Chain A
Amino acid sequence: MRFYSFLFLMMYCVLYSQSDQLQSEYEVIYKFKMYPDTLSKINPDEEYLSLLINNNKSLFKSTQKAKTDSIVLAIGKQQFANPVNGKVMLNMEKVPTVKFKSEVFNDGGKLMVFKELLRNRFSYPLEDPISWETENETKIIGTFKCKKAVGNYKGRKYVSWYTEDIPIPDGPYVFKGLPGLVLEVYDTKDYVNFSMVSFKKVSKPIVPMKDVAPTKYDNFYKARQNYLDNPAGMISNQTGYSLKPSHVARINSNAKRSNNFID
């Protein structure tokens, strides 16, 4: 009996030591809505985003991102394996696009922002966390009593509704650090809105973006400016595709319409 107990203990220790991946205790799903063009308030981008929480750590990312990456690979493999008249024709028409490509990893209040720019990935520490001012106004969201707070981030004024019923100082994207979970946050010009859809006890792996180039916000900003100066050129450079003038014009025109960066 002792022998089996000992073996069980050994196996438990081995298994436990190997499962060092951080798992969530809770998952908050937010609906994200944002107008990508500051000159037009039609056709907003909408997506469901996930906040995975474990004690004082969390990861905020799109629920669609990992799925899209897998779908691209699966469709690619399938189309390469089934050429039509001897020729491979890649058709990515049915792949759902990811609207919110940023991620934020919160490690005890220290925030690391992850960004994607075409095929490049960056990470930088958040150097200017929001300084919130709490107000007396309250409202009910779902079954939760929420309090109002206001703060500025990258030139925009945001209104945040947080609940002390869930005493987790977290929230969507960089909108964290209040004495309760942020259930809704939006900018005062109504370009950006995050609103909670669900809050559940869920165990999922917390895995921040990989293969990233650590940098500072200023360097990411410069890289994005370089892209905005010549979007088609950068896409051609990264993919190796030779683009026709009509394609270049179309890509550049699309890029101009995506000018509303939450940063």
Chain B
Amino acid sequence: MLLATVCVAGLVSAKNAEEKKETEKAEVPKEAAAMQCQQVGIFIPCTNESLTDTICWGEGSWNPTYDDAVAEESHNAHLLVEYLCG
């Protein structure tokens, strides 16, 4: 029992130490990505027209990453179509 406890404690401690090292590595500040932008069209089905918008991501924009900008724009487009087309 004692041996098992020591082993498990040892493993947990070792894992924590590894995680700590990884965390320390991850804390090295990365160079912030420069802002990039992309033009996007939003189709309005009830009026059969499209609206043009620009999404931006990176330093100085609302969205840190491209994926954040895509998610933001997708939700905004859905919201607009919902309230515009009823």
Q: How large is the interface on B (under 10, 10 to 19, 20 to 34, 35 or more residues)?
A: 20 to 34
Q: How large is the interface on A (under 10, 10 to 19, 20 to 34, 35 or more residues)?
A: 35 or more
Nearest to A10 among chain B residues (CB) is B8
Q: Whole-angstrom distance between the alpha carbons of A3 and B44 in the complex? A: 65
- Chain A residues near B37: list those with CB within 8 A: none
Given A3-B4, A257-B86, A72-B45 contact (CB < 8 Å): no
Q: Whole-angstrom distance between the alpha carbons of A112 and B70 in the complex? A: 32
The answer to whether the Cβ of B78 comes within 8 Å of any Cβ in the partner chain is: yes
Nearest-neighbour CB distance to chain B for A239, whole angstroms, equals 4
The answer to whether the Cβ of A231 comes within 8 Å of any Cβ in the partner chain is: yes
Interface contact B70-A77, CB-CB below 8 Å: yes
Interface contact B83-A240, CB-CB below 8 Å: no
The answer to whether the Cβ of B76 comes within 8 Å of any Cβ in the partner chain is: yes
Interface contact A240-B76, CB-CB below 8 Å: yes
Residues of B29-86 contacting chain A, CB below 8 A: 38-47, 50-51, 53, 70-71, 73-84, 86
Nearest-neighbour CB distance to chain A for B54, whole angstroms, equals 9
Q: Which among A3, A6, A7, A90 is the interface contact of B74 at CB below 8 angstroms?
A: A90
Q: What are 10 inter-chain pairs, A to B, with CB distance below 8 A?
A: A2-B1, A3-B3, A76-B73, A77-B74, A90-B42, A92-B42, A92-B77, A95-B81, A119-B76, A239-B79
